[in-house]
Structure 1
Amino acid sequence: MQPTHDSVLSTHRARGETGQLSSNWYKADNLRGAMSMQKANFLWRFLRRIFGMNPSLPDPPTIYNLFTTLDAYRPEVQRTFRWEISMTKNDFPGSSRCFVQKVTYHKSRSLDRHEFLRFEIGAPDGPHRAVVIVGRTVDVPSLAKSSSIALTSCGCCTSPESLTQPAIDEITAATMGTPIGDELVRDHNCDLVSSLTFLNRAPSADEPSTLLAVISEYREKYHLQHSQCYWYARTAFKALMKLFEGSEDPRDGHRDGGKIHGSTLSLREDVHAVCCLYKERREKLSRSRAQI
C-alpha cells in the first residue's frame, strides 16, 4: 500500500515546517557553533601536546572538500555536482588515491526518518581518514506551501508539481579523529541499516563523487513519494554495490532502509539507469584526461 500525500506531508509538517527536511545535525551551524568548536579544537590540540597524545601525527593531506585541517571547526560542505568537480579536477589528483574503506547506511529515529550514507575514505598515505556524509534534503516551508495551495485550489493534489521541489543534495566532510570529524561519526539518534565493504577493488574518492552527481541529475527534484532522501540513499547504496561488487552486511532488526511509511521503493530500473550513466560519464572523463 503506497503512502498518501496527506500522510507523508503531515509527517513533515509535524516537525513545525522549519528548516530542511533532514537530520541536519551535520550542518556546521548545528554542530555546537563555531566558537564552541574552536574551543574543543584548542583543548584537543593542547592535550595532545602536553600528554604526548599522537605526538607524531602528521597533518592531513591537502585535498579540499574531503579532508579538513586538524584545527578546523567547520566541515567541508558542498552540493554533489560541485563535489564531483573538486574531486575530478586534474590539478588535485590526490582524490584518485584516496580509497573508500566502508560505506554505512543510516536511518534517523526522529519523526522524519531521514536516511543518509556515511563514507569512510582513507588518505593516500599516513593514518588519516575522512568521513563524508551524503544525503538529500528539501526546504520544508516551500514544499508545504506549494502542497497546501494545490489542496486548497482543487480539493485534492492532482499536480505533480505540488509534491515537488528542488532537491538539496549535499556532502559534508571532515577528517576523522578531530573534534569536527568525531561529531560527524556520532550516533545522533540514528540506526545503522546496513554497511558495505569492497572485496576486490574499492572505489577511489573521485568515483562516488561522480556517481552521486549522476544520481542528483537523474532526478533533480525532491518528490515526497518518489525521489526523497529514502530514494537517494538507497539508490546510491545499491549502485555502489553493483558497480564495485560490494559486500552488504545488513544490520539485524534494521532492514527498513529505502522505505517510506513502511512501503518499499522500487529501485531496480533507477539503479540500472544511473549505473549506465555513471559508466558513460567516467569514460568521457577518462578521454578528456587523456587529451591533456
Structure 2
Amino acid sequence: MSLKQDRRNRSWINRFLASLRRVFVSEPPPGLPGLAAIKFHCPYGPDVNSASVLGWRSQMADSWDEINGNLYTKCVLARMEYYKCTRDREHEFLVFYFRHWIDGCSAQAVVSADRGMQVQYRSLKQSSELVSSSSSNTTAYDSVCIYGSPRDATPHLRARYTPYSRLGTFDFPSSSAPSALQVSTVLSLVHRQAPAYHLYENQCHWFSSAVWGSLKELFPSDQDSGCVSRARARYRGVALGSPTEDIEAVCAAYQPEWQKMLELLEQVKCRHEAEKAKERQKFYMELEIKNEPFRQARQAELERLRQAEICAQVELERVRQAKQAELEQAQVRYSQQ
C-alpha cells in the first residue's frame, strides 16, 4: 500500500471515529465552571481553596448564570472515596470527584471534606492538639477543600494527610449522581446533627461515616466497593460504629431541605433577573441622557426642515396665485378685443 493511500485510509478512520463520538457522546453543558471557580478563604495554604460546609453551600447557591441558571446543579458527583490516616490521630476524611466541563471537554474537580475543631490557621498534621479535648462545647469545623484536577489534588492531599489509606470507593451512575449543590446540602445536614465537636462521639470518624452513609442511602448505586465499617471499627481502643440514627435523620431531613434549596434558587433567579432589569433600565436612561444633545440637534434640524418646507409651499402658492392672476388678465384682454 502506498503512503498516500495509507494516509487517506487513516483520515477516513479518524472521520468515522469522530462521527461515532458525536453520536454517542452528549454535548457538554455550555459554560460549566470548575468548582475552583469560587474562591474561599484558605487557612491551609495559598494554593487550596477552603470553606466551611455551610459557607460552601451558601456560595454555590448564590451563584447564577444568566443563560444556564445555577451551574453547580449540573456539576455532578462521579465518585467518592473514604480515607483514613495511618498514624497518630488516625484522622478520617472523604474525597469527592465532580464531573464538569472545561473548554468543551469533560474534566474532574477534586474536593475533600472532613471535621476538625474550630482552630484557624492550623494544619491537620500539627499533631493531636486538635483532638486532645473531649469537651462537648467545642465548635466543630466541618470544611471542604477544593483542589482542582486530580493531578493538582494529589500533592495537596499528601501534604495535608499523609500517610493515609483508602478504605472504600463509591461510584455514582450518571442517572442518579448528586450535584455539587446536593452534596453540600447533605454535608450541611450532617453538620447540623452535631455542630459541637466531641472526641468520642462526634469527631472526624463520625462525620465522615455519617456523610458517607447518607449519600449512599440517598443516591444508591450498585458500584459500591470497600468495607469501611470493619477498617474503622476502633479508635484508640474505643469502638466506633456506624451512626445509623444520624444517617436516618439526615435522610429524613434531606427532601424538605432540598425543597428549601430549590425555593432559594428561585429567589436567587428572581433577584438576579430584577438586578439585570434594573441594569438595563439604568443603561437605557444613561444612553438617553448621553444622546440628549444629539436628539435635540436632530429635533432642531427636523424643525428647520419643516419650516423650510412650509416656506417653500407658501412661495409655490404665491407663484401659483400670480400666474393665475396673469392668466385671468390675459383672458379679459382677449375677450375685450
Alignment TM class, shorter chain as reference: 0.5 to 0.7
In structure 2, the partner of 1:184 is: 156
Structure 1 ranges of 4+ moved more than 2 A: 59-68, 139-144, 184-188, 257-262, 287-292
In structure 2, the partner of 1:132 is: 111
Q: Pairwise mapping of residues 1-292 of structure 1 onto structure 2 (< 5 A)?
A: 61=33, 63-64=35-36, 74-91=47-64, 93-124=70-101, 125-138=104-117, 139=119, 141=129, 144=132, 162-177=135-150, 179=152, 181-186=153-158, 188-199=162-173, 200-246=175-221, 247-250=223-226, 255-257=230-232, 259-260=234-235, 261=237, 263-290=239-266, 292=270
Q: CA separation of 1:61/1:271 partners in 2, compared to 1, >3 Å: closer, same or farther?
A: same
* CA distance in 1: counterparts of 2:91 and 2:130, whole angstroms: 18
2:185 maps to amino acid: T
SS in 2 for 1:170: strand
* CA distance in 2: counterparts of 1:101 and 1:67, whole angstroms: 22
TM-score by length of 1: 0.65
* CA distance in 2: counterparts of 1:130 and 1:258, whole angstroms: 30
Cα displacement (A) at 1:255: 3.2
In structure 2, the partner of 1:156 is: none
* Structure 1 unmatched runs, 5+: 1-58, 148-161
Q: CA separation of 1:259/1:91 partners in 2, compared to 1, >3 Å: closer, same or farther?
A: farther
* CA distance in 2: counterparts of 1:168 and 1:273, whole angstroms: 20
Cα displacement (A) at 1:169: 0.8
Cα RMSD of the aligned pairs, angstroms, is 3.0
Q: Percent identity?
A: 22
TM-score by length of 2: 0.57
Structure with the higher helix share, 1 or 2: 2
* Structure 2 unmatched runs, 5+: 1-30, 120-127, 271-337
Cα displacement (A) at 1:257: 2.9
SS in 2 for 1:217: helix
* CA distance in 1: counterparts of 2:116 and 2:207, whole angstroms: 10
- Over residues 30-60 of structure 1, what are the superposed CA-to-partner deviations in whole Å (9 max), with x where a residue is unaligned? xxxxxxxxxxxxxxxxxxxxxxxxxxxxx99
* CA distance in 2: counterparts of 1:265 and 1:241, whole angstroms: 17
